Structure 1
Amino acid sequence: MQNANIYFQHREPSPLRQIWLHLNANPFAVAAFYFLCAALLIMIFSPWLVPYAPDSQFADAILQPPSWSDQGEIRFLFGTDDLGRDVLSRIIAGSVYSLGYPLLAVLIAAVIGISIGAWAGMSRGVQSSTLNHFLDVILSIPSLLLALVIIAILGPSLLNVMFAITLVLIPQFIHEVHNAIYDERYKEYVTASRLNGVSRWYMFSRVIFPNITSRLVMQTTFALSTAILDIAALGFLGLGVQAPAPEWGTMLARSLDQVYVSPWMMILPGLALFITILSINILGDSVRAAIAERVRQS
């Protein structure tokens, strides 16, 4: 005989499920999520997805328009540049430089910055105050200007760009985590946990950290957008990733001389850069709102 459950049992969805349900109600957030997933997959599998090698030159197809143009060919979907290189292949291969390396820089900066910021936020007295004032001075300087100074000292190369961007982002994470912990540590739930005699690590990891995740998500989103823009700007100025690497900022700089003859050389890399940054910001803001809504309802 089959057992029938006559009692209604309400099951709360998991935290990740709640965040997804909140995101699913926003079509822009869903579109941004799927675009970023596709961009990450394209970046990971770019060596196998490119139709041609990024540096392959086709002498019979120099400045070939995109395939939707009357003079275009289907074998060059996004057309070719002034050296006969396939623009689609260069955009796909360039996602490693314009998306992969910024992700790596943000990950390293987040680990270091959150660790130092947590130590400073949980500390009191001269150490915390001195670090906070020092970070205020550093953050008053634009991140791109700091990166330019570091690149001017070290010289233009991919390794130096990664070092400069990571070094610029670390103070931002330290400052944000420090301020977030400072705003939370005198609230009632933190005081109650302190009176219970919990350790400092337990206080941070189990009590304070879950309540500052929305601010960390926003900071990570801002840092990733900043890293992508700074790497593109340095490449555009000729101080970042050097040619012939197919970095999107470098591609934009190279297309300046041909903007009236072949506008697709500038529009397509710029569009890839714009949509990527827009998707990151939309998804980050939606995740932050979902986490804040979940904390408010709990």
Structure 2
Amino acid sequence: MQNANIYFQQREPSPLRQIWLHMNANPFAVVAFYILALSLAMMLLSPLITPFNPDAQFSDAILQPPSWSDQGEIRFLFGTDDLGRDMLSRIIAGSVYSLGYPLIAVLVAAIVGVTIGAWAGMSRGVQSSALNHMLDVILSIPSLLLALVIIAILGPSLINVMFAITLVLIPQFIHVVHNAIYDERYKEYVTASRLNGVNRWYMLTRVIFPNITSVLVMQTTFALSTAILDIAALGFLGLGVQAPAPEWGTMLARSLDQVYVSPWMMILPGLALFLTILSINVLGDSIRAAIAERVRNS
């Protein structure tokens, strides 16, 4: 005999499902999610899905237009550059430099910055005040300018660019986490937890951190966009990833001389940069709004 439950039981969706349902209501966030997912898949599978070697030169197809042009060929879907290298292969391989390395830099900066920022936010007195004033001075300097100074001292290379971008992002995470924890520390729910006798570790990880998640999401989104733009800008200036590496900023710099002859050399890497950064910002803002709505409704 079937066991029928006559009592109504309301099932709340999990936090991740609530975020997904909120994002699903926004078509721009859904499109951004799929663009970013495609970019990440392209980055991870780039050695397997590139049609040709990114550095391979085809002397019989120099400045070949994209395949949708009348003079194009289907084997070079996005055309070739002034050295006969396949543009599609270079854009796919360049996602490792323009998206993969910024992800690593943001991850390292987030781990170090959140750790120091949490310690500073939970401390009081001279330590917290001195750190806050020092960060205000550092953050008053644009991130790209700081990266340029570090690169000028260390020299242009991929390792030095990663080191410079990571150093630039760490103070931003420290400042944001410190201020977020400081703002939450004197609220009623934190005071109630302190009166219950919880230790500092429990207070930080179980009480305060769940309520600053939206701040961390926004800072991570901003940091990733900044890292991608800074690496592209340094490559464009010739101070970042060096040729013949297919980094998107380096490709943009190389295309300046051919912009009127072969505009696809500039449009394609520029479009890849634009779509990647736009999808990150739209998706990050949607996740932040979903978390904020869930906190309001809880």
Short-chain TM bin: over 0.9
Cα deviation for residue 182 of structure 1 reads 0.7
**4+ aligned runs moved over 3 Å, structure 1:** none
Q: Deviations over 1:75-128 (max 9, x none)?
A: 000000000000000000000000000000000000000000000000000000
CA distance in 2, matches of 1:47, 1:200: 47
CA distance in 2, matches of 1:122, 1:197: 16
Give secondary structure in 1 for the equivalent of 2:52: coil
Gaps in structure 2 of 5+ consecutive residues: none
Q: Where in structure 2 are the equivalents of 1:24-39 lying within 5 Å?
A: 24-39=24-39
Q: Where in structure 2 are the equivalents of 1:238-277 lying within 5 Å?
A: 238-277=238-277
Match of 1:137 in 2: 137
1:169 and 2:169 correspond: yes
- Tell me the TM-score normalised to structure 1 length: 1.00
Cα deviation for residue 19 of structure 1 reads 0.4
Code of the residue aligned with 1:35 in structure 2: it is: I
State the identity %.
Answer: 88
CA distance in 2, matches of 1:134, 1:31: 40
Cα deviation for residue 35 of structure 1 reads 1.0
Match of 1:49 in 2: 49
- Tell me the TM-score normalised to structure 2 length: 1.00
CA distance in 1, matches of 2:147, 2:16: 36
Give secondary structure in 2 for the equivalent of 1:189: helix
CA distance in 1, matches of 2:297, 2:131: 35
1:98 and 2:101 correspond: no
Code of the residue aligned with 2:168 in structure 1: it is: V
Cα deviation for residue 38 of structure 1 reads 1.0
CA distance in 1, matches of 2:48, 2:136: 45
Match of 2:210 in 1: 210
Match of 1:127 in 2: 127
Gaps in structure 1 of 5+ consecutive residues: none
Q: Deviations over 1:200-230 (max 9, x none)?
A: 1100100000000000000000000000000
Q: Deviations over 1:133-175 (max 9, x none)?
A: 0000000000000000000000000000000000000000000
Give secondary structure in 2 for the equivalent of 1:60: coil
Match of 2:286 in 1: 286
Give secondary structure in 1 for the equivalent of 2:83: coil
Code of the residue aligned with 1:283 in structure 2: it is: L
